[in-house]
Structure 1
Amino acid sequence: MDYMDSGLRYTPTQDKDWDADVQFLPASDNKKLEKKKGPGKVGAVIGVLVLCVVIALMAGLLVWHFHYRKDVRVKKMYSGSMRITNQVFDNAYENTNSSEFKALAKQVKTQLKMLYSKSPQLSKYYVGSTVQAFSEGSVIAYYISEFSVPSGQESAVDHAMSTMDKLVEKEQRSIYRPGNSLLLEDVISSELDSRLFSTKFRKFFRFSEHTRTNHIGQIRSPGFPDSPYPPNTFMQWQVRADPGYVIKLDFDTMNLEENCRNDFVKIYDSLVAIETSVVQEMCGYYAPSEPLAFLSSGNVMLVTMATNQEKNYPGFRAQVSQVRRGSTNTRCGGRLTGNVGSFTSPNFPNYYPPGTSCEWTIEVPAGKSVKVTFKKFLMDEPGQGGSKGCRKDYVQINGKKFCGDHEDNSVTETSSTNQMTVQFYSDGSYVDRGFNATFEAVDSADPCPKQFQCKNQRCIKSELKCDGWNDCGDMTDEFNCKCSSNHIHCKNGLCKPMFWKCDSVDDCGDGTDEEGCGACAKGQFSCKNGNCASEKKRCDGRDDCGDGSDELDCGRGTGSSSGSVACTDLTFKCNNNKCISKVNPECDGDQDCEDGSDEINCDCGRSKFKSTRIVGGQDAEAGEFPWQVSLQTKRFGHLCGASLISPGWLVTAAHCVQDDGRNKFHQPDTWFAYMGLHTQRNIGNTVEKRNIKRIIPHPNYNDYTFDNDIALMELESPVAYSDFIQPICLPAAQHDFPVGSTVTITGWGAQREGGTAATVLQKAQVRTINYTVCDKLLGGQLTTRMMCAGILAGGVDACQGDSGGPLTIPSGIRNFLGGVVSWGDGCARRNKPGVYTTVTKFRGWIKQNTGV
C-alpha cells in the first residue's frame, strides 16, 4: 500500500481509559419529590421542570465529557530507511506487486511493529507502516510509519523516533530475538514533510524509471508541455540506476508557482521522502540558461511534486540518465603538482552530490608556497547557520572551514610550506553548486611582492591601504591607520574620505561622520527640506515641516480609510485627484487609492524567472533584466541602451540621438531596437527586432551640460511580452529613492575605460550617492535633474555603450526605472561616480508623450 497513493487510512482505536460512566448525586429528601395524590397542575409543572433540569444536566455533562475532555490526537508520519544485511537484492523487489516484494515487506512491517513495541513513547501510539520500496545494498528498505499522538506528546514521539538507530542496535544485540528476524543497520528516520500528506490532495500519481547505459530517459509533470499540471495533486517518481552507477537528473524546464508553500518540487537522495536526504526544493520559474543538474550519491533518487488548488503552471521536464561511479563528473580529490593548476568540486558548475568527501594534496616546487584562490564559491544551504558555523557542507584548508557564499576571488589561502591539503565535504541533505579554484606557487617570504597582504591572504596595491575603502574584504587594509587631514577620523579607529561627512549616510559605522551636521535634536523629526519638527507633531494633521513630509506614511488617505490628505509635491495623487500620505504606494500590491489607481498598469518591473544568485559575477542571466533594450545601427551595430516601458515605447538618453557629423542619429530609420537580447550577434528565438517609428528627444536637452538627457522612441509596431521581454515600472513623480540604496546598472558597454564593448549583457550593483557630495566630486556640474550612483572606490561603473540604459532600482516587489545612463568623468574612476538622468523629474513629460 502506498501512503501517497491510497494513504495510510488506518482508523485510530478508541482509548480504553476513557471514563464512560456518568453518576448523579441522590436527592437529599425523597419525600419532597414524592408524587402527591391527584395530578395537581402545580405538581405537574414542577415535575416537568425538574425533568427538564435533569435532562439538561445530563446533556451538559455528556457534552462536557465527550467534547471538552476529548482526547485530541495529532497524525504524525515518519519516513525512514534501513539496511537489511542478511538479505540479497532480487530484481523482483522493484515491483511492488510481486510476491517477493510483498513477502519481504510483510517481514519488515512485522519487525517495525516489534521495534516500536520496545519503546513506551511509540508503542501506544503506533498505527501502522507501509513499505515503499527496496534497493540494492544488501537490501535497503524504505518505509513510512504512522502514529496517532495525543496533543502535547509530539516532542516525546519525535525524540523517540530520532533515536531509532539506538533502539535497533539494542534489539539486534538481544539474545531473545527470533533466529529468522532481519539483521538491520544504518537506520535513518525523520518526520515526513506535512505538505506531502495533505488531506486536500484529490489525485495521486506514482511513476517509476530505471535508467540504463547509453540511454536518456525523461520524467515530466502530468500534461507538460501541452497543459498545466493538475491541482490538489501529489506526484512522485522513483528513479533507479544499475549497481555501480549514480543518477544524473537534468531539468530543462522548471516553471511552477512562485511560492513554495503552494506548489513545489522536492528531490530526495532516497526512494522515500526522508527529510535528512533532501537534495533540493524548487518552485518558481528558472531561466533555461541556469543549469539545474543534480547527481545522486547512490543508485536511487526520488522526485516529488505537490500542488494546491490555484495558479497551476506548465510544470517541469527533466532528463534522467546514469553515470558510472568514478567518472569525471563524480570524481574529486587527488594529488596536484606544478607551478599552477586548477580543481573544482564534483559536477561543477552544476550541483555537487550529497554525501561526498574529497581531499586534494597540492605540491609546488621546493622553496615555494602554495596559494589557493577560489574563483567561485557557492556552498550555502538551509541550516548552515552562517558562514562561520560550517556545520554542514564546507571546504577545509589550512585548518579553516569555509562555507556559504563568497564573492569571486575573495577566499584565498597560502601555505607555510610547499604542500597544502584541501578537503571538501557535503552532508546528506541540500546541495549547492560548489567551487572553482586555482593554485599557484608563490615566494613564501613575499607572497605579495610590492603589494599589501591582507589577513585573508588577498594581495592589493599598497596605495590602497588606509584610504577609507575596504579593499581587502576583511577590513585589514583599514586597521591601524593614521588618518590624514583630508580624512574623517572615526571613533572606531577607521579613516574615511572627508567628502563623506554630512552626506546622510553612516559611513564610519558609528555615526562619527554624521556628527555636528546640523541634524535634528533628540525628540525631533528630520523633514525632507532639512527643517526639524517635534516627533510629537508628526502625523498630527498639520504641516509642521513646511513641505508636508511630517504627514507622510501616517496611515491616512488610503482606500480603506475615510478622507484623504492635502496634496503636496511629496504626496501621491490618485486618478480621482485625491492624495494619500503613503510613500511609494504605486505597484506595491496594496490598493491605497479609493479608485485603485495606484495599482493600475502594474504588470511591470519583474523578471519572469526566479531570482538568480551569482556572487560577484558580472554576466547577467538571460531574462534577468527583460526591459533592457539594445539600440543598434546598420553601420555601427550596438551603440546605446534603452528601457522598455510599454509594448510600443522605449526610454533612452537624448545624447544618443544627437547627430554626429555624417551620422543622422535623430532620424528613426537609422536605428533598430532589439528586445530580449542577451548576447550580441546571437539573435535567437527569444529576441524581437523592431524599427523605430518616432524619436522624441527632450526639447530642453543641453548637449554641453547633459541637462534633460532623456529621449523617447516609439516602435514601428508593438512588441509582445514574453519570458524575456517585459517592461520596467515607471516611478511616480513623488517616488522616493533613499540615498545609499543599492541599485543595478546593465548594458553591453565597454568593460573598462577605452576598452571594447561586452558581448554578454553585463550587470553591476552600485549605490546611490548624496547629491551634494556628488556635486562636489564632479566640480559643481550637476543639475537638479541628475542623480549619482557608483562605487566611489572605483572599479564599477557604466561606460561607453551603456548610455541610455536603465538604472534599475528595486522598490517593494518590483523594479523601477530610477535613472537613465547619461555621463561620467571617465569610467569606474575612484571618486568619480556615474551620472544619471532622474526619471521622476520627467514623469509628466513621459505621460504626455506616450500615455504610459
Structure 2
Amino acid sequence: NINVFEEGVEFLPANNSRKVEKRGPKRWIVLLALVIFFILLSLMVGILVWHFNYQNAWVQKIFNGYLRITNENFIDAYENSNSTEFAHLANKVKEALKVLYNGIPALGPFYKESGITAFSEGSVIAYYWSEFSVPQYKAEEVERAISKEYVLSLPPRSRALQSFNVASIVAFPTDARTLQTTRDNSCSFSLHARDNEVISFTTPGFPDSPYPARARCQWALRGDVGQVLSLTFQTFDVAPCDDDGSDLVMVYDSLSPVEPRAVVQLCGVYPPSYNLTFLSSQNVMLVTLITNTVRRHPGFKAEFFQLSKMMECGGHLTGVQGTFSTPYYPGHYPPNIDCTWDIEVPADQNVKIRFKIFYLVEPHKTLGTCTKDYVEINGEKICGEKLQFVVSSNSNKITVHFHSDESYTDTGFLAEYLSYDSSDPCPGMFTCKTGRCINNALRCDGWADCTDFSDELECVCNSTFQFTCKNKFCKPLYWVCDGLNDCGDNSDELQCSCPEGNFRCGNGKCIPESQKCDKQDNCGDGSDEAWTVPCTKYTYKCLSGVCLSKKNPECDGKKDCSDGSDEKNCDCGLRSFSRHARIVGGQNSDEGEWPWQVSLHAEGEGHLCGASVISSTWLVSAAHCFVDTPRKRYSQPTQWKAFLGLHDQSKRSVKGVQERGFKQIIRHAAFNDFTFDYDIAVLELDKPVEFSSVIRPICLPDSSHTFPAGKAIWVTGWGHTKEGGTGALILQKGEIRVINQTTCESLLPNQVTPRMMCVGFLNGGVDSCQGDSGGPLSSVENDGRMFLAGVVSWGDGCARRNKPGVYTRTPILRDWIKEQTGV
C-alpha cells in the first residue's frame, strides 16, 4: 500500500502580518536626513565655488617705478635700448629686483618678471615695470607691500650682483589706461635736445589725419646732464574730457609714468594762445598719449628745448621796491622746487608784498590746507587761485617761501614788494583793509574796488546821484527798481510801486500825476514826458510812424506806442536764471549765463573771435575778424565753425552745445581795416540753431537807444586774461562802465569815430583783450532784459590806465543790421 502525504502549509493569522515585513527607519527620520544631506552638499559646493572663483582667482598686477644705482656712471649707450651696454645693465637691475622681491614674503611668491624701459643720469636711474600674478584676496596686501621705499640688501652668495649698489627703490600701481605701454613699443619715441636746439614732435598723422584710435604712444624727452627741459604744446586738440574714458595726454617729470610725478593731465581743446608751457626738475620728461575713443581729432604739436638748471631760487632783495616771480613765469613752474626770498627795504620803512597774479591750483583735492604747492609768509600758507591781494609786515623785512611738490604744477605768481610809511601806507590814496591802495575817487562810488568791500563801507551817499542801501552801501540811482538786488539786502528793490495819485518814473522815482506831461523832465529820465514829438534820429519811432520822446522805450515791459510796436519782437535778452550781484573784475561765468555768446573757431586754429546770437540764423561779430592774410582767407565761410551754448572751450562736444557752419559772412562795406571804423559783420548760419536754456538771442537796440556815461555794461569772452597772457577755457565776464564820449576822444586823439564808444575804467583793471573780438557788450535795460550795446573792436593794450577798450556802437548801425538780416 502506498501512503500519500500532503505537504502542509501553515497560514498565519491576518493580524500577525507585520511579522513577515522587513524592519526600516521611520519616515520623518528619512526626510530629516535628506535635508541635512542637501544642506551639507550646498555648503560644500559654496566652499568649492569660493575656493576656485575667489581664493584661487588670480589677477595681474603691474607696477611702474624707478631706482637709483649709486655706484654706476651714466654713459651715452644707456640711452639706446638696443645697445649691449643697456642690455647688460638691464639684466643686473632685473636680477636685483628679483632678489628684492623674493626677500619680501608678501611679494616673492607672486612675482613673475620685470622690464627695464629707460636709464637716466643720477648716478644712474633705472625706470622699470614689474608684473605680479596675485590671488584676488591678497591684492591689497601686495599693493601695501610694494608702496614702501626699499634699499636692496644683497645675500652673501649673490655673485651676479657683487659690487652693485641699489637704493631708493620705489614703485606705484600702474594706471589701467597705460598698461599696454609697458611692452608695446610700436608708438614709442626717444628724443634728445642739445644746446640751442628746439625739437618739435607731433602725434602720428598730425595735422593731415587724426591720431590713431585706441592707441598708446609715448615720447621720452632728454637733455644733457645738469639741464632741465621746457616743453610747450603749440597746438592741442584731442577728444573732449568726459567721465567715460576720454583721450588723455599726461606729462611726467620722470621717464616712468607714475602718478606722483605727473606734471599735467590734458584733454579737450586749447586755443593757441593758452599757456601750455611746462618745466621739468631734471633732464628728462615723459609725454604719453592714451586714446580710448575712435573720435577724429588732429592731436597735438609740441616742441621742447633744454636750458640750464636754476642753481638758486629766490635770493636777497633790497631797495625801495622791486618784482619777483615763480621760476620761469609765465610758464608753469617746475615740480620739486623750493625758493626763498628775503626782502629788505630801508630801515625807516615797512614792507608789503602785492601779488598781481596768483595761480597755485592742484587738480586733485588734498586733505589739509595747502599741503602740496604753496607760498608761505608770516607763518601762513597760501595756495589756490587768488585775486590781487597784499601781505604786509610790521618791519622793514619779510620772507617769502615758495614750495612745489613732485607733482602737478601751475603758472605760479607775479609779485612786487613795496616800502611804505606805516603811518600813511597809501600816500594820497585810500587803503583797503587788505592793504591794497586805490584812488580816492573810487571810494564810495558803488563799486567794490577793494576785494573785501572796505572802500564801500561807512559811506555818506551823494543823494543827487546815489541811493543809500539799508546796509549803508551807495549805489547809482539808476540801479533802483531795476529788478536786480544790487545792494545785497534787496533794499534797492523795495517800495518800487508808487502811492495812488502818483506816477512811477522809469528810474523808480515817484512824482505826482499832475507833473506828467507838463513839458518838464521831473523824473530825470524823460519817462514822464513820453508824449509824441517830431521824429529825429534821437527819437523812437513806432510802426505807426509816431515818434516818442521817451528814452529807450523798446521791450521795457510798458506799452508806449499806441499800436504796441515798442513791445513786439521782445523774445530776447532774457536768461533762464537771474544773475549774481555785480562785481568788478573778470571772473568765470556760470553755465548759461550769457546764452547769446558764441565762440568762432578758425579751421586748425581754435577759438579766435566771439559773436552774438540775434536770431536762429544770424550772428553779429566784428569785421576785423574776417580780414584775409597771406596765409589764410578768413573772409571765406568755409574757414569757420560757430559753437553756440559753449561754456568751456575744452568741452565742445557736451550736451547743449550746437556746432554750425556759415552760409555767408557780410562785412560792412565801409569797414576800414586801418582805423577799424564800421567794425561790424553779420554771419548767416548754414542751418537754424535750436534755442534752449543756454542758447538765446540778445535784443538789438533801436537806432535811438542811448547808453549813458557811467552805465554798467558786461563784456564777455574767452580772450586773454591779461595783456600778453593766454586765453581762458571758461567763459569770462567783467563789468565795465560807459565812458563819456568827449573823454574817450581826448584819451585816444584822432582815433575815435562816431561809430565807436569807450567802455572800461580810466584806472584800468578790467577790459576785453585778444580773443574777445566780435563778442557782445551786454547792457541790462529796464526789466532786466539784455541789449547788445556794442561789439568788441580794438584797444591800446588791455586794461591799461587811461586806455579803455573801444567798441562798435550797435545803435548807430542798427538799420544796416536790419537791411542785411531782416532782424
Same fold (TM over 0.5): yes
1:145 aligns with 2:130: yes
Paired AA for residue 425 in structure 2: P
2:144 aligned residue: 159
Q: Secondary structure of 2:77's match?
A: helix
How far does residue 344 in structure 1 lie from its aligned partner after superposition?
2.3
Aligned residues of 1:252 and 1:318 also touching (Cα < 8 A): yes
Q: Which moved more, 1:393-402 or 1:175-184?
A: 175-184
| CA displacement at 1:187 relative to structure 2 | 3.7
Q: CA deviation at 1:99?
A: 3.1
Matches within 5 A, 1:227-306: 227-259=209-241, 261-306=245-290
After superposition, the CA RMSD in angstroms is 5.8
Asked whether the equivalents of residues 384 and 392 of structure 1 are also in contact (C-alpha less than 8 Å), the reply is no
CA 1:463–1:219: 2 relative to 1, 3 Å: closer
Contact 1:247 1:298 in 2 (8 A): yes
**Is 2:364 aligned against 1:371?**
no
- What corresponds to 1:75 in structure 2? 60
| Superposed CA offset, 1:639-670 (max 9, x none) | xxx889999x7637xxxxxxxxxxxxxxxxxx
Residue in structure 1 matched with residue 788 of structure 2 by the alignment: 819
1:223, CA displacement in angstroms? Answer: 2.0
* Aligned match for 2:79, one of 81, 91, 94: 94
Equivalence for 2:166: 184
Given residue 776 of structure 2, which amino acid in structure 1 is its aligned partner?
A: L
Q: Does 1:401 align with 2:386?
A: no
Counterpart mapping for 1:281-360 below 5 A:
281-326=265-310, 332-360=313-341
Counterpart position of 2:13: none
Check 1:60–1:623 CA distance in 2 against 1; reply closer, same or farther (3 A cut).
Answer: closer
> Deviation at 1:286?
2.8
Structure 1 Cα separation of the partners of residues 252 and 61 of structure 2: 20
Instruction: Please list the CA deviations of residues 247-294 of structure 1 after superposition, one character each: whole Å capped at 9, or x if unmatched.
Output: 222333222222274222211111110111111122233333334332
**Number of the residue aligned with 1:675:** 625
2:364 aligns with 383
Change (3 A) 1:446 1:86: same
1:608 CA displacement: 4.3
User: In the alignment, does 2:416 pair up with 1:446?
Assistant: no
Q: Deviations over 1:38-63 (max 9, x none)?
A: xxxxxxxxxxxxxxx9xx99999899
Change (3 A) 1:746 1:290: closer
Which structure has the greater CA radius of gyration?
A: 2
The answer (yes or no) to whether the contact 2:59–2:133 under 8 Å persists in 1 is yes
Give the SS at the match of 1:103: helix
2: distance between equivalents of 1:80 and 1:685?
47
User: What is the letter of the counterpart of residue 90 of structure 1?
Assistant: I
Contact 1:279-1:431 at 8 Å conserved across structures: yes
For 2:335, give the aligned amino acid.
Answer: P
Change (3 A) 1:426 1:117: same
> Is the CA contact 1:208–1:237 (under 8 Å) kept in the aligned structure 2?
yes
For 2:462 and 2:106, the matched residues in 1 are separated by 70
TM-score (norm 1): 0.57
Is the 8 Å Cα contact of residues 607 and 726 (structure 1) preserved in structure 2?
no
Distance 1:609 1:418, change over 3 A: farther
Percent of counterpart pairs with the same letter? Answer: 35
**Letter of the aligned partner of 1:299 in structure 2?**
N
Shift of 1:93: 2.0
Name the amino acid aligned to 2:609: P
Partner amino acid for 1:226?
D
Q: 1:742 to 1:428 in 2, by over 3 A?
A: farther
Distance 1:644 1:181 in 2: 77
Matches within 5 A, 1:36-55: none
Which secondary structure state, in structure 2, belongs to the residue aligned with residue 457 of structure 1?
A: coil
Q: Distance in 1 between matches of 2:434 and 2:391?
A: 7
Q: CA deviation at 1:674?
A: 3.0
Is residue 454–residue 460 contact of structure 1 (8 Å, CA) maintained in 2?
yes
Q: Distance in 2 between matches of 1:241 and 1:199?
A: 22
The residue correspondences of 1:204-215 to structure 2 (distance < 5 A) are 204-215=186-197
Q: 2:121 aligns with which of 136, 140, 156?
A: 136
The change in CA–CA distance for 1:208 and 1:806 in structure 2 (over 3 A counts) is closer
Letter in 1 for 2:87: K
Alignment of 1:657-672 (within 5 A): none
Cα separation, 1, equivalents of 2:445 and 2:668: 52
Using the TM superposition, give the Cα deviation of residue 345 of structure 1 relative to its aligned residue in structure 2, in angstroms.
1.8
Q: Distance in 1 between matches of 2:386 and 2:229?
A: 29
Instruction: Give the drift of 1:234.
Output: 0.9
Distance in 2, matches of 1:106 and 1:803, equals 58
Q: In the alignment, what sits opposite 2:733? A: 765
Q: For 1:211 and 1:244, how far apart are their aligned partners in 2?
A: 13
Q: Deviations over 1:55-95 (max 9, x none)?
A: x9999989957876574444333211121212222332222
Q: How does 1:588-607 map to 2 (within 5 A)?
A: 605-607=598-600
Of 373, 385, 392, the match for 1:414: 392
Contact between 2:273 and 2:727, CA under 8 Å: does it hold in 1? no
Deviation (angstroms), 1:716: 9.6
Deviations 1:360-405 (A, max 9, x none): 222322312223222322222213559x932222222333333222
Equivalent residue for 1:699? none
Which residue in 2 is equivalent to 1:426? 404
Please state how far the C-alpha of 1:481 moved relative to its aligned partner.
7.5
Structure 1 gaps, min length 5: 1-28, 33-52, 519-567, 573-581, 585-601, 611-621, 629-641, 653-671, 692-711, 718-723, 752-757, 770-789, 810-815
SS of structure 1 residue aligned to 2:100: helix
Q: Does 1:114 align with 2:95?
A: no
Q: Which moved more, 1:311-320 or 1:228-237?
A: 311-320
Question: What is aligned with 1:632?
Answer: none
Residues 1:303 and 1:468: Cα distance change in structure 2 (over 3 Å): same
Residue in 1 that maps onto 2:469:
488
State the Cα deviation string for residues 774-808 of structure 1 (Å, max 9, x = none). xxxxxxxxxxxxxxxx9999978999xx9995427
1:217 to 199, 202, 207: 199
Cα separation, 1, equivalents of 2:98 and 2:128: 12
Partner of 1:651: 620
The aligned length equals 596
Q: 1:623 to 1:375 in 2, by over 3 A?
A: farther
CA pair 221-806 structure 1, distance change in 2 beyond 3 A: closer
Whichever residue aligns with residue 211 of structure 2, its letter is: Y
In 2, the alpha carbon distance for the partners of 1:570 and 1:267 equals 51
Partner of 2:451: 473
1: CA distance, partners of 2:167 / 2:177? 29
TM alignment of 1:477-556, pairs within 5 A = 477=455, 486-490=467-471, 505=484
CA distance, structure 1, for counterparts of residue 480 and residue 419 of structure 2? 44
Instruction: Return the letter of the residue paired with 1:626.
Output: C
Aligned counterpart for 1:685 among listed residues 608, 612, 631: 631
Amino acid at match of 2:131: E
Indicate conservation of the 8 Å contact 2:226/2:309, yes or no: yes
